[in-house]
């Protein structure tokens, strides 16, 4: 009597995601394939690049808005911490820096350190707050910020030799950054120094008697110069 043989079961096909459904990639560099519970590292996507390395990638092209936002936060925190090391770390060694509050162009970190010490000595509670931006330029690795600042004049402004007044001031200004290799290579900060001087009492207020006298004297001097 022949024994009936049970046909061998075919192998179970391996589950695959349907055509047109790509694997999911997590923000930690892992690949998740639909239908599988395992997570395998994506060897082609290592840990996220650092802020500086991402800046290097954008030096010769349009800036990444996420990188600029992150840099702006670091920049503001460094100034508000009153820590020269934090500020200088975000500048290139050959930084070129023009500031309305300083009489000369700063070149290199030593010049910038002198300026920082000068400003924080006079205004030890100087604090910045971002109002708008960053606004990214379309023609190079450049961004601009609009900010406001508050401070109390608690130390001498020397030069030019103005003693502490104890007055509180508030002013706004603009930062213009040119980036290279993830740092600021060229910096321009623009503020209305006449407004600050008026708040400190160094210049007369608009429409005041003292201002009218100064204007009259200037006109008189100009008239004599022409004659």
Walk me through the domains of the chain, giving residue ranges and CATH numbers: 51-191 (3.10.450.50)
The pLDDT of residue 62 is 80
The pLDDT of residue 30 is 36
**Span of 13-22, 138-147, 168-177, 218-227 with lowest mean pLDDT:** 13-22
- Per-residue pLDDT reduced to its tens digit, 33-57: 333 333 334 444 455 555 555 555 4
The whole-chain average pLDDT of the chain stands at: 79
Rounded Cα distance, 225 and 227, in Å: 5
Q: What are phi and psi of 197, to 5 degrees?
A: -65, -35
Instruction: Report whether pLDDT(77) > 80.
Output: yes
Instruction: Report whether pLDDT(29) > 80.
Output: no
Instruction: Report whether pLDDT(197) > 50.
Output: yes
- Range with the largest mean pLDDT of 2-6, 77-81, 160-164: 77-81
The pLDDT of residue 204 is 83
Rounded Cα distance, 217 and 121, in Å: 35
Query: Length of the chain, please?
Result: 227
**Joined tokens for residue 46:** 């290592």
Q: Which residues pair with 173 in a beta bridge?
A: 147, 191
The pLDDT of residue 170 is 98
The pLDDT of residue 160 is 84
Helix (H, G, I), strand (E, B) or coil at 98: strand
Please compute Rg for the chain using Cα positions.
30
- Per-residue pLDDT reduced to its tens digit, 94-115: 999 999 999 999 999 999 999 9
Rounded Cα distance, 97 and 177, in Å: 10
**Joined tokens for residue 21:** 């459904």
Residue 83's Cβ-count burial label (10 Å; 0-12, 13-18, 19+) is: middle
Q: Residue 47 carries which DSSP code?
A: S
Rounded Cα distance, 81 and 88, in Å: 13
- Per-residue pLDDT reduced to its tens digit, 121-153: 999 999 999 999 999 999 999 999 999 999 999
Instruction: Report whether pLDDT(32) > 50.
Output: no
Secondary structure (DSSP) of 14-44: PP-PPTT-PPEE-TTSEEE-TT----EE-TT
Residue 146's alpha-carbon distances to 119, 124, 186, in angstroms, are 20, 22, 17
The pLDDT of residue 41 is 40
The pLDDT of residue 161 is 87
Instruction: Report whether pLDDT(11) > 60.
Output: no
Other C-beta atoms lying within 10 Å of the C-beta of residue 25: 12
Instruction: Report whether pLDDT(193) > 80.
Output: yes
The pLDDT of residue 61 is 62
């Amino acid at each position: 009597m022949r024994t009936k043989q049970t046909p061998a079961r075919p192998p179970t096909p391996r589950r695959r995601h349907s055509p047109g459904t790509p694997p999911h990639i997590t923000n930690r560099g892992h690949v998740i394939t639909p239908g599988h519970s395992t997570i395998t590292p994506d060897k082609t996507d290592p840990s996220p690049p650092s802020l500086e390395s991402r800046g290097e990638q954008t030096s010769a092209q349009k800036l990444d808005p996420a990188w600029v936002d992150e840099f702006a936060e670091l920049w503001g925190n460094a100034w508000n911490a009153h820590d020269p090391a934090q500020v200088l770390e975000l500048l290139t060694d050959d930084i070129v820096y023009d500031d309305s509050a300083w009489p000369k162009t700063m070149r290199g970190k030593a010049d910038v350190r002198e300026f920082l010490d000068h400003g924080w000595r006079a205004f030890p509670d100087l604090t910045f707050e971002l109002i708008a931006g960053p606004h990214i330029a379309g023609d190079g690795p450049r961004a601009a910020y609009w900010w406001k600042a508050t401070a109390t004049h608690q130390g001498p402004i020397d030069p030019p030799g103005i003693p502490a007044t104890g007055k509180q001031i508030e002013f706004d200004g603009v930062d213009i950054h040119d980036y290279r290799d993830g740092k600021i290579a060229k910096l321009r900060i623009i503020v209305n120094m006449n407004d600050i001087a008026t708040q400190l009492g160094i210049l007369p207020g608009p429409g005041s008697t003292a201002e009218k006298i100064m204007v009259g004297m200037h006109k008189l001097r100009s008239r004599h110069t022409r004659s």
